[in-house]
């Protein structure tokens, strides 16, 4: 993996007061993204607008495509042209992009997609918050594959995690989602953008060997194949069909097993390196509150109230939602009495928690159907009942 420093032209160093959407755009620019193909959708449009107004001065491409299907297809094409690419969307657009997200996963193309979630399903609540696409990020496209999804809880994290998303997608050649929501997306807060020299970036593994020996999908020692871009004389072929090391389609069960297992192992075997969580006071806790995104900030109030009431509460904030931090949660499940999972959906990540804990402790879901954040008292009530 080649490490590189950010291009100062794209880094708006300084202390800013901006919302999450804008921070995502700035994060992308700081990470070296110079290609954005998108489609306007509330509440994510501000990211596209900011990118469109910033990129002509930096040097890059912004194109508003005719729909989200075209956006994701153009992004994959541009990624094979060697560029770092991103787009931003919300629920309905996310659904439209799903087929080609599968293509990006199959072709092992680095792309970054930010989903500023809103109330669903269907057109739902365009202007109000939700966290209802978490399972869709994991299972949205057909077939078996793995992706990475990050969940920022503030505009500052929107900036930081977008850069992290780019680095992860370049290392693992996989679509990476920044799963934020309308609340964080439209919330104005202080965002500190460091100088370019302090931003660490990773480039994809470019192949540098002899042209006639290049195999597009031959795994390197770390389990990830080398990548090339069009126009460098490799005359390679890549396809969405099940393929072998040469990138040629091979339609049989043996190749399918190798191909699909590779897509799965690429992320599962490296899960420990990818996963980021934030734990607070989990030692000796009776109740553990697992949350992510904006809900973690609302849960903070409930947790403070519970601690004042004498309950030993620990928190685990999922910064990486997929791959799911199974190992740590399994360990904690043995030590705590119960786990409370508040989320702005009818219960999605809680299903993973239930699966992983496998009955070792009680799991309490605190769903919220969308449109607003939780009332901290609802979470407090759940914590009290969980003891």
Partner 1 sequence: MIKAATKTKPEPKNPMEGILRMDRIPHIWCPGCGIGTVVTSFAEALKKNKEDLDKVAIVSGIGCTGRVAGYVKLDSFHTTHGRAVPFATGLKLAKPDMKVVVFSGDGDISGIGGNHLIHAARRNMDLIIICVNNFNYAMTGGQVAATTPLTANASTAPFGNYEYAFNLPYLAEASGATYVARWTSLHFRRTTKSMQEALKKRGLSFIEVIAPCVTLYARRNRLGDGLNLLKYYYDQSEIQHGADTRGLDISYQGKLVVGKFVDKEKPTFLDAMNQHLSGVLGDKYVPYGAIK
Q: Give the footprint of partner 1 on this chain (CB under 8 A).
A: 34-35, 37, 56-61, 63, 65-67, 69-71, 73-83, 85, 99-100, 103, 229-241, 246, 248-249
CA distances to 103, 215, 217, 233, 302 from 237, rounded to whole Å, are 14, 10, 10, 12, 54
Q: How far is the CB of 69 from partner 1 (least distance, A)?
A: 6
Angle value at C-alpha 95, between 269 and 50, nearest 5 degrees? 90
Q: How far is the CB of 103 from partner 1 (least distance, A)?
A: 5
Of the candidates 119, 120, 102, the one whose C-alpha atom is nearest the C-alpha of residue 111 is: 102
Q: Which one, 233 or 359, has the nearer CB to partner 1?
A: 233
Q: Which one, 52 or 271, has the nearer CB to partner 1?
A: 52
Q: Which one, 21 or 68, has the nearer CB to partner 1?
A: 68
- Two structure tokens written together for 291: 């949350």
Q: Sign of torsion, CA 196 198 204 208?
A: positive
Q: How far is the CB of 63 from partner 1 (least distance, A)?
A: 7
Q: How far is the CB of 244 from partner 1 (least distance, A)?
A: 11
Q: How far is the CB of 372 from partner 1 (least distance, A)?
A: 36
Q: How far is the CB of 85 from partner 1 (least distance, A)?
A: 8
H or E, element range at 384: helix 376-386
Q: How far is the CB of 79 from partner 1 (least distance, A)?
A: 8
Q: Which one, 66 or 283, has the nearer CB to partner 1?
A: 66
Q: Which one, 192 or 235, has the nearer CB to partner 1?
A: 235
H or E, element range at 263: helix 253-268
Q: How far is C-alpha 181 from the chain's CA centre? A: 12
Q: Which one, 59 or 309, has the nearer CB to partner 1?
A: 59
CA distances to 132, 340, 353, 372, 380 from 368, rounded to whole Å, are 10, 13, 17, 8, 14
Q: Which one, 139 or 234, has the nearer CB to partner 1?
A: 234
Q: How far is the CB of 75 from partner 1 (least distance, A)?
A: 6
- C-beta pairs of 73-80 under 8 Å, 24+ apart in sequence: 73/100, 74/37, 75/35, 75/37, 75/104, 75/111, 76/100, 76/103, 76/104, 76/107, 76/109, 76/111, 78/35, 78/37, 79/35, 79/104, 79/109, 79/110, 79/111, 80/107, 80/109, 80/229, 80/230, 80/238
Q: Which one, 27 or 38, has the nearer CB to partner 1?
A: 38
């Amino acid at each position: 993996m080649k490490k590189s420093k950010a291009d100062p032209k794209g880094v708006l160093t300084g202390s800013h007061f901006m919302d999450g959407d804008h921070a995502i755009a700035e994060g992308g620019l700081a990470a070296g993204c110079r290609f954005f193909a998108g489609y306007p959708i509330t509440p994510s449009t501000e990211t596209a607008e900011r990118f469109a107004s910033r990129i002509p001065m930096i040097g890059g491409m912004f194109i508003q495509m005719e729909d989200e299907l075209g956006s994701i297809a153009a992004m994959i094409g541009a990624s094979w042209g060697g560029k770092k690419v991103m787009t931003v969307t919300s629920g309905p657009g996310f659904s439209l992009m799903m087929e080609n997200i599968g293509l990006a996963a199959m072709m092992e193309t680095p792309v970054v997609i930010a989903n500023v979630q809103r109330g669903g399903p269907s057109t739902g609540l365009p202007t109000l918050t939700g966290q209802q696409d978490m399972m869709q990020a994991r299972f949205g496209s057909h077939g078996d594959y793995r992706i990475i999804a990050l969940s920022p809880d503030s505009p500052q994290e929107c900036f930081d995690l977008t850069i992290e998303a780019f680095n992860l997608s370049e290392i693992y050649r996989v679509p990476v989602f920044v799963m934020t929501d309308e609340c964080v997306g439209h919330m104005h807060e202080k965002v500190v953008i460091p100088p370019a020299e302090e931003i660490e970036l990773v480039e994809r593994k470019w192949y540098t060997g002899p042209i006639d020996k290049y195999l597009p999908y031959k795994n390197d020692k770390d389990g990830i194949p080398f990548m090339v871009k069009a126009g460098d004389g490799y005359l390679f072929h890549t396809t969405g069909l099940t393929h072998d090391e040469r990138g040629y389609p091979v339609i049989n069960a043996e190749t399918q097993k190798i191909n699909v297992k590779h897509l799965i192992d690429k992320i599962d075997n490296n899960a420990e390196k990818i996963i980021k969580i934030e734990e607070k006071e989990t030692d000796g806790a009776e109740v553990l509150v697992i949350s992510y995104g904006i809900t973690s900030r609302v849960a903070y109030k409930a947790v403070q109230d519970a601690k004042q009431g004498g309950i030993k509460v620990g928190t685990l904030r999922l910064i990486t939602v997929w791959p799911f931090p199974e190992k740590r949660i399994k360990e904690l499940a043995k030590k705590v009495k119960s786990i409370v999972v508040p989320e702005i959906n009818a219960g999605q990540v809680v299903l993973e928690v239930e699966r992983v804990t496998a009955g070792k402790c009680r799991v309490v879901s605190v769903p919220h159907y969308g449109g607003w954040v939780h009332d901290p008292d609802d979470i407090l009530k759940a914590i009290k009942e969980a003891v």
